[in-house]
Amino acid sequence: MVLEALTLIGEIPEIRWQHGDDACDCTFQRIGWWTNPYLGRTLEVRLCCAWKKMGEMFPEIGQFVREIPAYDNPNTGQWETKPAPWDADHDMPEALWHRQLAIQQGKPVAQVRREYAHLLPPKGVRKEPLCQRSEVSTSPTPLLERPLPRKPAQPGPRKSL
């Protein structure tokens, strides 16, 4: 009965949207998701497609949305115009791989998806740890059981609000 009442208002989707689901050809797949058990409602917005469509329909809004053909590297403060090779420790998500290839080859994502359907994305790259533990504690008291050092009390009068 409850399910029938909900379907009269809207539809319960068979497919759940998620970031990187490759359900659209947008470069940046972004899903807005808000849900509330007390309202019994969930709002999903495929933001990437909505921004694109709004920019097409309303040029005055389009000026506030831009896709820049470079990566703004926060470590260097420089723009990098070529996609970086995959170097993460886990396998590259297929949707991201399709977009990387599309940018590198100047092709639409849908075409790349078809052309590379028989291949797998790059595998993860095992990395050496950044640091290795060189000392082992010889204390008879385990680290978690040791008392924490106390801060000295701050001298001076307290101010009331």
**Do 63 and 93 fall within a single domain?**
no
* Interacting residues of 141 by C-beta distance below 8 A, sequence separation 6+: none
140 falls within a domain: no
**Do 1 and 54 fall within a single domain?**
yes
**Do 74 and 121 fall within a single domain?**
yes
Q: Which amino acid is at 60?
A: E
Q: Sorting pLDDT into bands at 50, 70 and 90, what band is 158?
A: low
DSSP secondary structure letter of residue 49: H
* Overall domain count for the chain: 2
Among 53, 56, 64, 61, residue whose Cα is nearest residue 24:
53
**Do 50 and 26 fall within a single domain?**
yes
Alpha helices (H) in the chain, listed in sequence order: 2-9, 47-57, 59-62, 94-105, 109-115
Q: For 20-43, how does the pLDDT look when each residue is reduced to its tens digit (9 = 90+)?
A: 899 999 998 899 999 888 888 889
**Do 8 and 50 fall within a single domain?**
yes
**Domain region containing 42:** 1-67
Which of 67, 95, 116 terminates a domain? The answer is: 67
pTM confidence score: 0.64
* Interacting residues of 56 by C-beta distance below 8 A, sequence separation 6+: 62
Return the pLDDT at 1: 40
**Do 54 and 95 fall within a single domain?**
no
5 falls within a domain: yes
Sign of CA dihedral 129, 132, 137, 138: positive
Adjacent-strand bridge partners of 43: 34
